[in-house]
Amino acid sequence: MSGVGAAKAAEIAARVEAFVRDVVVPYEHDPRCGDHGPTDELVAELRAKARAAGVLTPHILSNGSHLSQRETATVLKASGLSPLGPVAVNTMAPDEGNMYLLGKVGSPEMKERFLKPMVEGRARSAFFMTEPAGEGGAGSDPSMMQTTAVQDGNHWVINGRKTFITGARGAKVGIVMAKSAAGACMFVVDLPDPAIRIDRVIDTIDSSMPGGHAMVTIDNLRVPADQMLGEDGKGFNYAQVRLSPARLSHCMRWFGAASRANEIATAYAVKRQAFGKPLIDHEGVGFMLADNLIDLKQAELMIDWCADVLDTGVLGTTESSMAKVAVSEALYRVADRCVQVMGGTGVSTDTIVEQVFREVRAFRIYDGPTEVHKWSLAKKIKRDAAKTH
């Protein structure tokens, strides 16, 4: 992936950071930010301002090319300085990963019809993969896929149930994963569609993503055959194309959020007095902030290392698993310490620290729980050991 070079990426990131700090941060207490994310009205308002400032979808260039993963890291870390930042500049999940997948696998017609309005910030998307656990569906193990796709002439008919589908409410583009006779496959569909029914939006610990996380029933959804993404039976391959960069993108965005939380906690500790001196001068507090600096630097290096691996063109499944575990756990420690340093203020909504804590806690599960990634890594260790003996 060629990209634009470190200097240009840094310039883009600087403009994104200035926009997030100056324009987006004042919206953090907007009443249109609810339990299930910002409203579409607020999303449109923020994106109009990002478009006017020239920072909308900053990781995709005007010619349709994508920044390298290392350059994307620079930009997405800046966008993540506010929980609303990725929403405003169109680098949020699941859209960022869906745009990447459509750019890699989509036909020219799909790119014009579905990808273009997403890049322009006019359409949100949803990725329909996870299924309800109580019904034996696919979660961390995608091979348990229950949703079916049956060919009927020049259409496919899809039936199944999906859950924790981020952004389904209000999305205009959907990527639906199902199981055909040949194996897993993906379809790109227009939303809303009466055959895709949102049963409920689930109340979750996090609240940064528009549309929240929905439980969905797919009832005889008819999709034209030319809207299959790629080839029949290759769905898991395409999922891997999307998942490694998407895992890393989560790391990038939440790195920005944790960095901002640490800024807020540090400013609080420097100003707040207790027992005759500033909190920062108490070893118990000062050491927590020192540990934050260490965790943030290690997370940053892990992100950059994995980005460099992906930029060689390999899938980077192992490396992205390692990065996802290391970064999500480190950023959770950072956010937890920020809450602790700030005491009562840290658990209040007076600052974004408590939201960052909630969001990063969820991040330890999203895109694969820590334990699943470690289990996958352990299997690789065993396979590699078998090859050497």
Q: Which domains does the chain have, with CATH numbers?
A: 6-92 (1.10.540.10), 125-233 (2.40.110.10), 236-387 (1.20.140.10)
Whether 354 and 339 have beta carbons less than 8 Å apart is answered as yes
Give the C-alpha distances (Å, rounded to integers) separating 125 from 40, 65, 167, 170, 332.
12, 20, 7, 8, 27
Question: Which residues partner with 185 through β-bridges?
Answer: 178
388: enclosing H helix or E strand: none
- pLDDT for residue 243: 85
Greatest mean pLDDT among 63-67, 225-229, 238-242: 225-229
- pLDDT for residue 301: 98
Give the C-alpha distances (Å, rounded to integers) separating 182 from 91, 131, 209, 233, 279.
34, 20, 34, 5, 62
CA separation for the pair 345, 342 (Å, rounded): 5
CA separation for the pair 287, 333 (Å, rounded): 13
Q: What is the phi/psi pair of residue 37, to 5°?
A: 95, 175
pLDDT at 2 over 70: no
Across residues 306-323, what is the average pLDDT?
A: 95
Across residues 269-280, what is the average pLDDT?
A: 97
* Conformation bin of residue 316: beta by default, left when phi > 0, alpha when psi is -120 to 50: left
In this structure, the dihedral spanned by the alpha carbons of residues 218, 223, 227 and 230, taken in order and rounded to 10 degrees, is 60
CA 225 remoteness from chain centre: 29
Across residues 18-37, what is the average pLDDT?
A: 97
Whether 106 and 231 have beta carbons less than 8 Å apart is answered as no
Sorting pLDDT into bands at 50, 70 and 90, what band is 200?
Answer: very high
Which one, of 370, 345, 369, lies nearest residue 357 by Cα?
345
CA separation for the pair 123, 113 (Å, rounded): 11
In this structure, the dihedral spanned by the alpha carbons of residues 48, 50, 55 and 56, taken in order and rounded to 10 degrees, is -50
- pLDDT for residue 259: 98
Across residues 264-281, what is the average pLDDT?
A: 97
Q: Which amino acid is at 255?
A: F
pLDDT in tens, 115-145: 999 999 999 999 999 999 888 888 878 888 9
Whether 335 and 80 have beta carbons less than 8 Å apart is answered as no
Whether 235 and 242 have beta carbons less than 8 Å apart is answered as no
pLDDT in tens, 296-310: 999 999 999 999 999
Task: Give the pairing type, strands 277-278 and 196-202.
Answer: unpaired
- pLDDT for residue 135: 86
Q: What is the mean pLDDT of the chain?
A: 95
